[in-house]
Amino acid sequence: MNANKIGYLGPRGTFTEAALEGLLEGQSDSVETIAYPTVVAVLDAVRSGEVGRGVVPIENSLEGPVTTTLDALARHDDPLVIIGEYALPVRFALLVRPGTELAAIEKLATMPIAAAQCRQWLDQNIPNVQIIAASSTASAAKKLGENPDCDYEAAISPEVAAKHYGLDVLASGIGDDSDASTRFVLVSRPVKPPTRTGADKTTLMLFMREDHSGALLEILTELAVRGVNLTRIESRPTRKQLGDYYFSIDAEGHVDDARVAQALTGLRRVCSEVRYLGSYPRHDGKESSVAHGASDTDFEAADAWIAAIRERGSGRS
Amino acid sequence: MNANKIGYLGPRGTFTEAALEGLLEGQSDSVETIAYPTVVAVLDAVRSGEVGRGVVPIENSLEGPVTTTLDALARHDDPLVIIGEYALPVRFALLVRPGTELAAIEKLATMPIAAAQCRQWLDQNIPNVQIIAASSTASAAKKLGENPDCDYEAAISPEVAAKHYGLDVLASGIGDDSDASTRFVLVSRPVKPPTRTGADKTTLMLFMREDHSGALLEILTELAVRGVNLTRIESRPTRKQLGDYYFSIDAEGHVDDARVAQALTGLRRVCSEVRYLGSYPRHDGKESSVAHGASDTDFEAADAWIAAIRERGSGRS
Amino acid sequence: MNANKIGYLGPRGTFTEAALEGLLEGQSDSVETIAYPTVVAVLDAVRSGEVGRGVVPIENSLEGPVTTTLDALARHDDPLVIIGEYALPVRFALLVRPGTELAAIEKLATMPIAAAQCRQWLDQNIPNVQIIAASSTASAAKKLGENPDCDYEAAISPEVAAKHYGLDVLASGIGDDSDASTRFVLVSRPVKPPTRTGADKTTLMLFMREDHSGALLEILTELAVRGVNLTRIESRPTRKQLGDYYFSIDAEGHVDDARVAQALTGLRRVCSEVRYLGSYPRHDGKESSVAHGASDTDFEAADAWIAAIRERGSGRS
Amino acid sequence: MNANKIGYLGPRGTFTEAALEGLLEGQSDSVETIAYPTVVAVLDAVRSGEVGRGVVPIENSLEGPVTTTLDALARHDDPLVIIGEYALPVRFALLVRPGTELAAIEKLATMPIAAAQCRQWLDQNIPNVQIIAASSTASAAKKLGENPDCDYEAAISPEVAAKHYGLDVLASGIGDDSDASTRFVLVSRPVKPPTRTGADKTTLMLFMREDHSGALLEILTELAVRGVNLTRIESRPTRKQLGDYYFSIDAEGHVDDARVAQALTGLRRVCSEVRYLGSYPRHDGKESSVAHGASDTDFEAADAWIAAIRERGSGRS
C-alpha cells in the first residue's frame, strides 16, 4: 500500500523537500518520502500509484508560474488534484567543495530559475561564470558533493544541501530579492477534497468554446455574480496554434462553499470544458471575504424559498 | 365552495369580461362570473375567498401599465399571484340612448384611460364635451341605459355593451390608434404555478437594499448570467418618499425552468425583498429563447458534475 | 417677445402654480404667468413660442410618473428640454360653496390622480359620492366657485384655491399619505443647458435597436462604466404593439460632466435613438457621488495621456 | 547616428535573426544588425541608443510567454514600445561537429525552452544526455563550431546555424510538435506608433489599485463596453509578495482607433497605473472585428452630437 508514500522534486536538500516537511507538519501518520528527478516524474509517480501524493513547486514570487507544473497538471488526460499548498521563503547559497575559492569558479550548476534570481550577485562577483542547467538546485549540489568527475566547481542551492552533500557555503543570501518565496502544492489522484477551512482556494483550467469573443468577461461574471473572487489568471497555450489559449485560474473559496459550487456549475455551462484541479487550504490562512447574500445560509434560504414557490406559489414560511 | 367563481372588473360588457371569456376558452369546468365595480374590489374578493380567481387589466399598449393593478398586487400584505394573461384588441364606440344625436352630447362618461385614447376623435367631433370619470367603460354604458336620472348623454364603451344596455352605437372605432390592445391577467391566491409551456413569463417585484448604487445593474446581471431575458421593467414608487422606488419586472420563462429558479435565488440573495407574482403562459405564445448552456439538461448535468467533484474530486463519469 | 412668459397647468390655485412660484424664487426678472387647461396645452404653447417656458407635473410620490407628461415630452417630433425641477408637498382639501354640508355632497370633481390619493378619507366620509374627472384640481374649484350651473357640490383641491374662488374649506389634509409630494418640471424649447451645480440630473429617452436581447444590461453598463448612477427607469410603450417599449430614465449628473457626456456618447452608439431631455439642478440638492477616477480632472488627464501616446508613444509628461 | 542599427538576440543563426529578416522584409532602408548575448542586453542597447531598434522573442506556441522579455519590458523605469511582431515556425535540429555520432553525445547545449520542446526525441534517442543551459540556441552552436575547448558534443539549434558555424545536422525536426512557432517583437524607445492597418494589436501592463476586489472584471468591462477584444492576459508577479500581480494583456486594435483610445483612458482612470507598450500590426494580418457602433465614424458622430447638446440643448443637425 502506497498511500503513505510521498514523492517530491529531489534529491534531498531541495526547497521542495523543505516544503514537504512544512506540509506534513502536525500530521501524525508516518510517511515515506521519495525523491524524483523532475516535476513530471513526481506527477507520473502519483498517477501510477507508486506514491499516494506528490509535492512540486507551482509559483515563484519573482518569476511567476512554474509552467512545467501548471501544464503537466492541466494537459494530461489523467488529471490530478491539488489538496494542499505551502509557501517557503527562498534563500540561495553558493556551495563549493571544501577549499574552493571564488576565483576558481568557472562553471556552476543550478536550475535556470534560480540562476535568474541571483543574476545581480553573479554579475558583480563572478560575471564570466558559465551556467549549467540542473533539474533541481539540490541535484546540482549532490553531484558536486558526490561525483568526483563533476565538471563544475559550484552550485546555487538551498543552504541545507551543504550539510547533506559535504559542501561548504561560500556565500549565502545571494538572491536579488531577500523576500522571494516559492509556493509548492501537494497533489494526489482525484479524492474527496480536504475539509474546508473558510480560508481556501480552488484551482481550475477553463477551455472556451470556439469563436466566442467576450468569453473572458463572461467567465469572470459567472464568478463575480456569486461573490467569488479571482486571485490569479493566466492565458496558457493550448499548443494548437499561437494565440489559442486556455485559462488557468485560482479562485477564493472551496467547492463545498455554495457560492463556489454554483459559480463552477455556471462556468461548466458556458465553457467547453472546465477541469477541476482541487480545493485546498490557502498557505496564508487568509479567509475568503463573503459578500452580502453569498453565505451558505443565504443560498440554502433562497433554495427553500424557490422550492416553496414551486410547490404552492408563495415563498413565505 | 368558491373555486369556480371568477370575479372581474364589471359590469357586463367591459373589455375585462371579454378577456375573461378568452382566458376560459377551452376549459370544460363550468364557472360563475361575478362583476365587481373596481380593480381593488376584484382583488379583495380573491383575497377573501369570495371568488377563486379574478380578472383585471394590467397594461395598455398606448398608456402603459395600469398602475392601480400593479400597485394593488405589489403592496398588499396578502399577496396574489398571476396564473394567466390575455391580450385583447381595444375598440371603442360612442354609445347613446336611441335617438340621441352628436350635437346633443354635452357630457359623456367613460374611464379616463379610454377618454385619453379617443382624444383626437373627441377633439374633432365634440371638442367641448365634458368628461365624467367612470370606474369602467361598461359601467358608464350601464348607467346610461338603465338609469333614467343619468345626467350624461353618451358613454365611450366596448361596442358589445350597446346590446347589453339597450343603447345605440353612434360611432365605432373612435380610438386614436386602431391597433391598440390591453393585457389582462387572471389572478388567484398563491397556488402551485400553472404547468410550464416553454412560452412563459414570470412577474416579480424587487425591493433594493438601501444605499446601494449599481443595484439595478446587479439585478440585471443576476438574470443575464443565467440566460434570462427581461421583457419589462418599471420603477414604481415605494410611497415612502419621492425618488424611492421598487422595480416591477417581467422576465421570460417559468419558475420551473432551472435558469429562472436560479436567477430568482440570486435575486433573493442580493435584494432586500423579492415578491413572486406568478409564472404563467404568455398571451402571445412566443417561446423563450434558451441560450447555450441554459437548458434544464445543462443545469442538471452541471449539478451532477459538482456533486461528483465534492464526493470524489473528479467530475468525470 | 415671449421669453418671459411662462405657461402652467392652470387655472390659478393649482399645485402647478405653487411649483412655478417655487421655481422662480430668487429670480429677479419679471415674468408673466399664463394658465393652460391641460399638460399638452402647456407643452404646445412652449413649442409654438407662445410662451418661453412651461411648468407641468411629472411624478407623484404615490402614483409614480405622470405618463401624460412623460409621453408628451418623448413622443413629439419637436422635442422640449427640462431646465429645472421642483418638488412640492401635496395637501388636499375638500372645498365647497359657503354653507354646503358634507351630507349634501353627491358629486365632487377633481383630477383622477387626486381622488385616488384621498380614497380612504372618501370611503370613510362620503362613500357614495360620484367622482367627476376634472383636468386639474383647481379647475374643479374654479368652476364650483364661478359657475352657478355647476352640477357638483364639492372639489378636491389645494387649500389655496378656496381663497381664489370664494369657497369654504370643509376638510383639509384629506390625503391618505401626509408625506405625499409631486415633482414638477420647467421645460423650454432646446437651449444650452443650465449651468451645472454638482447636484444635477439628466433625463433621457432610449430606444433600442431591434431584436437585441440583453440590451438593457448593455445600457446600464454604458452608464456604470463611467460611474454614472441611474435614479429612475421606466419601460414606456412605443405604441407600436404590446410589449414594445422605450426606456425613460433619469441619471445623476449633468451633460457638462465628462463622465455623463461620455456615457451619453456610449448610449448613442449602442441605441437606435437617444433623445436628450435636459440636464438640470435636482430639486433635493443632493450632490452626485463621483466614483474614483470619474471626475472631470480624471477624464482630462486620461485624454492628455492618450494624446501623448498617439504623438510620441509615451504618456509620460 | 544609430537609427538604422538593429540589435537582436544572437549570435548569427538564431531564430531571432530569422525573425529580424522577416520583420525587415520589404523595407528599403539599409540596416546594420548587431547580435547581443541576452534578451536584456538587446533591450538595454535600445534603451541606451546604441541601436535604434531590437528584436526579441516574446511568446512560444508551446511554452507560453517568454517571461524574461515580458518582465524586462514591463518593469524597467525606462519603458520601451513594441512597433512590430513576427511569428516564425520553430524547427529544431541536432548539430554536431563533423563526424560525431549520436552514441558519442554526453552533453548538449541549448536554451532550456528549446530542450523542453525536444523532450520526447531526447528521451527516446539520448535519454542520459546532460543539458547545458545556453543563452540562445545559436550560441550553443557557435561555441561548438568555433571553440576547440567546448566541453559538449552537440547543440540543439535552428538548422541554419550549421552553415554559419561549420557543423553537421545529425537530426532535424526533432521538436515534439511540428507546428510549433515563436512570436518575436520589434521594440524601440517610445515613438509615434506605426500607422494603423486595421489588423493591429495593443500591448499593455495594468497595475491595480490596492484592495480592490472585482478589479479584473472592471478592467475587462472597460474594454468590452467599447467593443475591444482581449487576446491574451497574464497575471505577472509584481515581485512584492506572492499573490501580488499586475496584468499583462494584448487587446485587438490600435491606439489610433477611437474605441481603443477610449478604452485606454477608461483603464487609466480605474487602474493605479497603465503602461502602454505599443500598438503594431498583427503578425497574422487578422483584422479586428468592429462591433456595431464602435467604428471611428460612430465615435465622431457621437462626439458631435454631445457637443451640439452642450451648446444648444439638442443633438439634431
Cβ–Cβ gap D302/C81 under 8 Å: no
Query: Other CB atoms closer than 10 Å to residue C306's CB: what's the count?
Result: 21
Give the residues across from B301 on adjacent strands. none
Name the pLDDT band for B210 (thresholds 50, 70, 90): low
- Output the pLDDT for position C212: 54
Nearest chain D CA: its distance from C302 CA (Å): 5
Rounded Cα distance, C168 and C144, in Å: 11
- Output the pLDDT for position D25: 86
Nearest chain B CA: its distance from C166 CA (Å): 23
**Residue of C235, C238, C240, C250 to mutate for B, most B C-beta atoms under 10 A:** C235
Cβ–Cβ gap D220/A224 under 8 Å: no
Query: Which is more confident, C264 or B136?
Result: C264
Chains B and D touch (3+ CB pairs under 8 A): no
Number of H helices, E strands in chain A: 10, 15
Rounded Cα distance, D56 and D111, in Å: 14
Q: Does residue C268 contact residue C72 with C-beta atoms inside 8 Å?
A: no
Cβ–Cβ gap C241/B177 under 8 Å: no
| pLDDT tens track for D28-53 | 778 999 999 889 899 999 999 999 99
Contact B225/C at CB under 8 A: no
Which residue in A133, A236, A289 is closest to D213 by CB distance? A289
CB interface of D with A, residues 111-150, below 8 Å: 112, 115-116, 130-133
Rounded Cα distance, A101 and D31, in Å: 46
- Is A317 a residue whose pLDDT tops 80? no
- Output the pLDDT for position B30: 86
- Output the pLDDT for position C30: 86
| pLDDT tens track for C18-30 | 999 999 887 777 8
Backbone angles phi, psi at A287, to 5 degrees: -70, 145
Name the pLDDT band for D1 (thresholds 50, 70, 90): low
- Output the pLDDT for position B213: 60
Name the pLDDT band for B317 (thresholds 50, 70, 90): low
Which residue in A181, A217, A230 is closest to D224 by CB distance? A217
CB interface of D with A, residues 82-111, below 8 Å: 87
Cell of C109: 370633481
Cβ–Cβ gap C269/D81 under 8 Å: no
Nearest chain B CA: its distance from A276 CA (Å): 7
Query: Other CB atoms closer than 10 Å to residue A49's CB: what's the count?
Result: 12
Q: What is the mean pLDDT of residues A101-111?
A: 93
Residue type, position B216, single letter: L
- Of all residues in chain B, the percent with pLDDT exceeding 70 is 98
- Is C67 a residue whose pLDDT tops 90? no
Q: Does residue C288 contact residue C200 with C-beta atoms inside 8 Å?
A: yes
Cβ–Cβ gap B309/A193 under 8 Å: yes
Rounded Cα distance, C55 and C184, in Å: 7
CA distances from C140 to B135, B151, C67 (A): 19, 18, 21
CA A183 to chain centre: 6
3-state class (DSSP) for residue A169: strand
Chain B residue at shortest CA distance from C289? B213
- Output the pLDDT for position D210: 67
Nearest chain A CA: its distance from B201 CA (Å): 14
All residues of chain A having their beta carbon less than 8 Å from the beta carbon of residue B84 are none
Q: Does residue C18 contact residue C158 with C-beta atoms inside 8 Å?
A: yes
Cβ–Cβ gap C301/D268 under 8 Å: yes
| pLDDT tens track for B251-290 | 999 999 999 999 999 999 999 999 999 999 999 999 998 9
Cβ–Cβ gap C191/D298 under 8 Å: no
Residue in the structure block whose three cell numbers are 518582465: D71
If you count residue pairs, one on A and one on B, with CB atoms under 8 Å apart, how many are there?
110
- Is C262 a residue whose pLDDT tops 80? yes
Chain A residue at shortest CA distance from B308? A192
**Residue of A242, A247, A248, A289 to mutate for D, most D C-beta atoms under 10 A:** A242
| pLDDT tens track for D126-157 | 988 988 878 788 889 999 999 998 989 999 99
Q: What is the mean pLDDT of residues D100-105?
A: 95
All residues of chain D having their beta carbon less than 8 Å from the beta carbon of residue C314 are 79, 81, 190, 276
Residue C227's contacts (CB-CB under 8 Å, 6 or more residues apart) are C259, C290, C291, C293, C294
User: What one-character DSSP code corresponds to residue C161?
Assistant: H
Chains that touch B (3 or more CB pairs under 8 A): A, C
Could you give the angle at the alpha carbon of B94 between the alpha carbons of B91 and B96, nearest 5°? 145
- Is A303 a residue whose pLDDT tops 90? yes
Rounded Cα distance, C74 and B51, in Å: 41
- Output the pLDDT for position A275: 94
- Output the pLDDT for position A55: 97
Lowest mean pLDDT among A87-91, A276-280, D255-259: A87-91
- Output the pLDDT for position C213: 60
Residue in the structure block whose three cell numbers are 374649484: C141
Mean pLDDT of chain D: 91
Cell of B252: 421570460
Residue type, position A39, single letter: V
- Is A210 a residue whose pLDDT tops 80? no
All residues of chain B having their beta carbon less than 8 Å from the beta carbon of residue A222 are 225
Q: Does residue C36 contact residue C9 with C-beta atoms inside 8 Å?
A: yes
Chain D residue at shortest CA distance from A71? D63
Nearest chain B CA: its distance from A133 CA (Å): 36
Cβ–Cβ gap D292/C256 under 8 Å: no
Contacts within 8 Å (CB) and 24+ apart, B16-22: B16/B55, B16/B56, B16/B57, B16/B136, B16/B184, B17/B138, B18/B88, B18/B158, B18/B160, B19/B55, B19/B57, B19/B86, B19/B88, B19/B182, B19/B184, B20/B55, B20/B184, B22/B86, B22/B88
All residues of chain D having their beta carbon less than 8 Å from the beta carbon of residue C190 are 312-314
**Residue of D217, D223, D269 to mutate for C, most C C-beta atoms under 10 A:** D269
Nearest chain D CA: its distance from A220 CA (Å): 6
All residues of chain C having their beta carbon less than 8 Å from the beta carbon of residue D305 are 265, 268
Chains C and D touch (3+ CB pairs under 8 A): yes
Q: Is the C-alpha dihedral spanning D221, D222, D225, D227 positive or negative?
A: negative
Nearest chain C CA: its distance from D139 CA (Å): 33
Q: Where are any strands of DSSP class E within chain D?
A: 5-9, 32-36, 53-60, 64-65, 81-89, 93-96, 107-110, 130-133, 154-157, 168-172, 181-188, 200-207, 230-237, 245-252, 273-281
Contact C78/D at CB under 8 A: no
Name the pLDDT band for B105 (thresholds 50, 70, 90): very high
CA distances from D294 to B124, B227, C264, D198, D220 (A): 48, 25, 14, 13, 16
Give the residues across from D95 on adjacent strands. D155, D169
Could you give the angle at the alpha carbon of A8 between the alpha carbons of A2 and A9, nearest 5°? 150
Chains that touch C (3 or more CB pairs under 8 A): B, D
Chain A residue at shortest CA distance from B212? A292
| pLDDT tens track for A59-96 | 988 888 888 898 888 777 788 999 999 999 989 999 99
Contact C239/D at CB under 8 A: no
- Is A211 a residue whose pLDDT tops 60? no
| ipTM at complex level | 0.90
Q: What is the mean pLDDT of residues A160-171?
A: 94
All residues of chain A having their beta carbon less than 8 Å from the beta carbon of residue B278 are 313
Query: Other CB atoms closer than 10 Å to residue C170's CB: what's the count?
Result: 18
| pLDDT tens track for D165-180 | 999 999 999 998 877 8
| Gyration radius of chain C's alpha carbons | 23
Nearest chain C CA: its distance from D194 CA (Å): 10
Cell of B46: 380573491
Chain C residue at shortest CA distance from B67? C63
- Kind and range of the H or E run holding B235: strand B230-237
Per DSSP, helices labelled H in B76-151 are 112-117, 119-125, 137-146
Lowest mean pLDDT among B3-17, D216-230, D235-249: D235-249
All residues of chain C having their beta carbon less than 8 Å from the beta carbon of residue B89 are none
Chain A residue at shortest CA distance from B269? A293
Rounded Cα distance, D70 and D80, in Å: 11
Domains annotated on chain C, with CATH: 1-89+180-191 (3.40.190.10), 93-172 (3.40.190.10), 192-317 (3.30.70.260)
CA dihedral A124, A129, A132, A135 (to 10 degrees): -30
| pLDDT tens track for C98-135 | 999 999 999 999 987 788 889 889 989 998 898 887 87
CB interface of D with C, residues 278-307, below 8 Å: 278, 292-294, 298-299, 301-303, 305-306
Lowest mean pLDDT among A240-244, B307-311, C47-51, C166-170: A240-244
| CA proximity to B249, closest of B214, B272, B223 | B223
Q: Does residue B232 contact residue C243 with C-beta atoms inside 8 Å?
A: yes
- Of all residues in chain D, the percent with pLDDT exceeding 70 is 98
- Output the pLDDT for position A96: 97
Nearest chain A CA: its distance from D227 CA (Å): 9
Chain B residue at shortest CA distance from A254? B310
3-state class (DSSP) for residue C88: strand
CB interface of A with D, residues 160-219, below 8 Å: 177, 179, 181, 183, 213-214, 216-217
- Is C285 a residue whose pLDDT tops 90? yes
**Residue of C309, C310, C311, C316 to mutate for D, most D C-beta atoms under 10 A:** C309
